[in-house]
Amino acid sequence: MTDNTRYYDAFSSTYDQGRDRGYHKLIDDQAASIVRRVGQGGTALEVGCGTGLLMQRVARFAAHVRGIDVSPGMLAHARARGLDVCEGSATRLPFPDGELDVVYSFKVLAHIDPPEPALAEMARVTRPGGHVVFDAYNRDSLRFLVKRAFGPRRTSSAFDEAAIETRFDAPEVALRRAQALGTVVDIAGIRILTAHPGILRVPGLGLATERAEWLAMRSPLRRFAGFLVFTVRKDS
């Protein structure tokens, strides 16, 4: 069992708590909206699906969505949601070449070093003309500054966030990784203006911040997003 597997198995029992509202709901809704632009009516795969919160959203508009994750604990929750998931590694996806219309991954590749083998696998199982969607943790963001200021938070009784590798990239580095896969057709930003997740719980201010985040997703401010999201068309 890898360190990442142990970490996420321990995290799985509490992972969903509070993610049906506020900050976590917002970023999952935004992620799903990005996938929807290229995944409507198609076949999809989520790499690092966790408990299936995002998969559940994608299932509303995709013809079929599958998920893969290293954590049996996380997958147990996804299966309880009735989702089609399996255990496996992002760097060895158990799917044929060119089988899927869209392959996406959020909050996963920042914990895989280097990410290129996983990105190559995502591109391999995507059909020509299909799309790869992935995020990068942005070094030029408020989120990065907050993480540096407050340090790793506890995720379970056994671990805090420092237990796993976490990489923040410069936007230019993340863009080059995207361009290596094909044609970049969209760049969006998630968590641009939210200095701290607690802001979304403040009456009035929370709603205003949420609306501002949606408006800023594809504005020039996306350069400073906590999560830079790239949609890449596989050209061949």
Q: Quick: pLDDT tens for 125-168.
A: 999 999 999 999 999 999 999 988 888 889 998 899 988 989 99
CA distance 13 to 158: 12
**Residue 114 confidence (pLDDT):** 96
> Position of tokens 């147990």?
76
Residue 33's pLDDT is 98
What is the rounded distance in angstroms from the CA atom of residue 219 to the CA atom of residue 224? 10
Nearest to 101 by CA among 55, 52, 41: 41
In the chain, domain spans: 3-233
CA-CA-CA-CA dihedral for 33, 185, 97, 236, to nearest 10? 160
Mean pLDDT of 57-76: 98
Query: Is the pLDDT score of 189 beyond 60?
Result: yes
- In whole angstroms, give the CA distance from residue 119 to residue 90: 8
Query: What is the spatial distance between Cα 173 and Cα 123, in angstroms, rounded to a whole number?
Result: 18
Q: What is the pLDDT of residues 9-55, one digit of tens each?
A: 999 999 999 999 999 999 999 999 999 999 999 999 999 999 999 99
* pLDDT score recorded for residue 1: 53
CATH class of 3-233: alpha beta
Please say whether the dihedral angle defined by the alpha carbons of residues 100, 101, 105 and 109, taken in this order, is positive or negative. positive
Q: What predicted TM-score, i.e. pTM, was given to this entire model?
A: 0.96
What's the Cα-to-Cα distance from 65 to each of 12, 53, 100, 136, 176, rounded to whole Å? 21, 12, 9, 22, 28
- Other CB atoms within a 10 A radius of the CB of residue 59 amount to 19
* 30 vs 94: CA distance, rounded Å: 28
